[in-house]
Structure 1
Amino acid sequence: MAAADELAFHEFEEASDLLAETPDAATTSGSNQLTPQGHVAVAVDSGGSYGAEEEVEESDRTALLQEEKQQPGFWTFGYYQSFFDVDTSQVLDRIRGSLLPRPGHNFVRHHLRNRPDLYGPFWICATLAFVLAVTGNLTLVLAQRRDPSIHYSPQFHKVTVAGVTIYCYVWLVPLALWAFLRWRKGVRERMGPYTFLETVCVYGYSLFVFIPTVVLWLIPVPWLQWLFGGLALALSAASLVFTLWPVVREDTRLVAAVLLSTVVLLHALLAVGCKFYFFQPLPLAHPAPPTQAASLSPDLPPPPTSSAHTT
């Protein structure tokens, strides 16, 4: 403490002596330096780095301009690489957001944060298509074990059908929805619609709930299968409705109701179509008709035959 006090008093004494020798000098408030009148005093901050923040801002601005100039073209692989630049924590957070929809919690604003990705939707659709095809074949295998009269043959075409159906749904339906919302934006001024990639991302993550549901459909209990399917459809459709509602709520009631009803109806058609096609009810085994000759007892006399005699 004594050394610090002496140092402070020594600086004050030196400054007073300097003022006494040069009465025309003036002190600056930012730094304890004496500057003669007629000269410009430059204040130096406590860190001793003049203009460091301005240099950093200038370097960041230059780097940003260089990145904009070096942005890859639409036809290059680097352009699409940015859509797959997500980590595991981001993907898991977006999956949880699609599984737990709630009113007032916008999936785009709270989870995407203006950074839509195609990594999650791509692998969710691929996994769902593969699981649909595998479980559809396993259903027939398990049914054959219970009833040997059922003939099973591998149905590899189901992989193609599932892949084409799911990927077309995830791309074409968001495209039509995005185009309709863009058109309604010009008709009625309101909150701007989501981008096309954001709409695709929302639809892709909304299908994740069907992956465990399809596995549970292996349980050979029809009412339990429909219960799991209805629960998955409710969660998935609610995620879409809660996400689209902030966009369409300022439109007319008729347009908003028709649009949201169409979204839910298409989602239900996808779920029900997959249920009937990949888990179709097995045909009942037709029992062999009893042979009339084998059913007759040998002890009984043969039935009398009537002969017509003409006289």
Structure 2
Amino acid sequence: MAAADELAFHEFEEASDLLAETPDAATTSGSNQLTPQGHVAVAVDSGGSYGAEEEVEESDRTALLQEEKQQPGFWTFGYYQSFFDVDTSQVLDRIRGSLLPRPGHNFVRHHLRNRPDLYGPFWICATLAFVLAVTGNLTLVLAQRRDPSIHYSPQFHKVTVAGVTIYCYVWLVPLALWAFLRWRKGVRERMGPYTFLETVCVYGYSLFVFIPTVVLWLIPVPWLQWLFGGLALALSAASLVFTLWPVVREDTRLVAAVLLSTVVLLHALLAVGCKTWPSGSGCQMCPRRETTV
């Protein structure tokens, strides 16, 4: 057992010597550390949060800078520039997602990730309109070779008609769908519709499968053309249904069934129009007139 004098309080000699050398120093209670005046002591708590105050100040400064940064206006070029800020890998990933739809794989959550773009839908629609016009003219050229009595004269307005039709479909149908889902959100509070740009982006990428399909329609086999068209429609419509299902499943069964059926029906009408219109009245075919001198 230790002696009583060993348990008595003893003043440390180092502290006494330090106070003698620096009379202006002050001691800190609780830690017995000497801190000269004019210096700042940084305390370290039991959790090891060293410099926590500096980190808080830095985060507050960053938040203030972000608040002070003004967002570009709706009428400025910078406002729309963010919708085209995507790279090639992102566009290819979203194209693959539209070509390979599967249940439980949401295109918006897994591919868009709350960053919809207009670059991909814009060029997909433009390419589809151009390919429709070119293949429609080529189809009639091939028909002319089989029947020499047919006179073919190309009409370039097919590009304009196809472009206006496709762009109206990609913008107006998502607008109506988005407005309907916003209205149903007030009726069914659990529903959370996508944004308008996300809906446009989904529709735009869903049309990519029709580009190679339209090229394959140059094969002069009717049943094979309709087979390619049916497969393209199935993939494109499945991409839309699997993306919209997490939103509409919280609604009543009747509303969900009618909404998804309408989406598929409108998509089918677009596919049938792409199949039948280019070889129809879009180009002029008339019997060849032979002039005699």
- TM-score, structure 1 normalization: 0.73
1:270 corresponding residue in structure 2: 270
* Partner secondary structure for residue 31 of structure 2: coil
CA shift for structure 1 position 144: 1.5
What is the alpha-carbon distance in structure 1 between the residues aligned to residue 169 and residue 292 of structure 2?
79
1:30 touches 1:44 (CA, 8 Å); kept in 2? no
CA shift for structure 1 position 244: 0.2
What is the alpha-carbon distance in structure 2 between the residues aligned to residue 161 and residue 29 of structure 1?
85
Structure 1 residues 151 and 69: CA distance shift in structure 2, 3 A = same
2:92 corresponding residue in structure 1: 92
1:95 touches 1:205 (CA, 8 Å); kept in 2? yes
Over alpha carbons, which structure has the higher Rg? 1
Q: 4+ runs of 1 displaced by more than 3 Å?
A: 1-41, 43-57, 59-69
Structure 1 residues 39 and 131: CA distance shift in structure 2, 3 A = closer
Structure 1 residues 50 and 264: CA distance shift in structure 2, 3 A = same
CA shift for structure 1 position 226: 0.4
Structure 1 residues 177 and 31: CA distance shift in structure 2, 3 A = farther
What is the alpha-carbon distance in structure 1 between the residues aligned to residue 90 and residue 2 of structure 2?
56
CA shift for structure 1 position 90: 0.7
Q: Which runs of 5+ in 1 are unaligned?
A: 276-308
What is the alpha-carbon distance in structure 1 between the residues aligned to residue 13 and residue 140 of structure 2?
99
1:104 touches 1:242 (CA, 8 Å); kept in 2? yes
CA deviations over 1:237-290 (Å, ceiling 9, x no partner): 000000000000010000000000000000000000111xxxxxxxxxxxxxxx
Structure 1 residues 69 and 37: CA distance shift in structure 2, 3 A = closer
Farther-moved stretch of structure 1 (54-63 vs 104-113): 54-63
CA shift for structure 1 position 7: 30
Structure 1 residues 186 and 48: CA distance shift in structure 2, 3 A = closer
CA shift for structure 1 position 55: 5.0
Structure 1 residues 274 and 3: CA distance shift in structure 2, 3 A = farther
Farther-moved stretch of structure 1 (70-79 vs 261-270): 70-79
1:26 touches 1:36 (CA, 8 Å); kept in 2? yes
CA deviations over 1:30-77 (Å, ceiling 9, x no partner): 999656999995236999997488358636754664466421111111
1:107 touches 1:243 (CA, 8 Å); kept in 2? yes
Structure 1 residues 25 and 5: CA distance shift in structure 2, 3 A = farther
Higher relative contact order (CA 8 A, sep 6+): 2
Structure 1 residues 257 and 5: CA distance shift in structure 2, 3 A = farther
Structure 1 residues 68 and 185: CA distance shift in structure 2, 3 A = farther
* Partner secondary structure for residue 27 of structure 1: strand
* Partner secondary structure for residue 151 of structure 1: strand
Structure 1 residues 59 and 23: CA distance shift in structure 2, 3 A = closer
CA shift for structure 1 position 93: 0.6
Structure 1 residues 11 and 85: CA distance shift in structure 2, 3 A = farther
What is the alpha-carbon distance in structure 2 between the residues aligned to residue 38 and residue 27 of structure 1?
13
* Partner secondary structure for residue 193 of structure 1: coil
How many residue pairs match? The answer is: 278
Q: Which runs of 5+ in 2 are unaligned?
A: 276-290
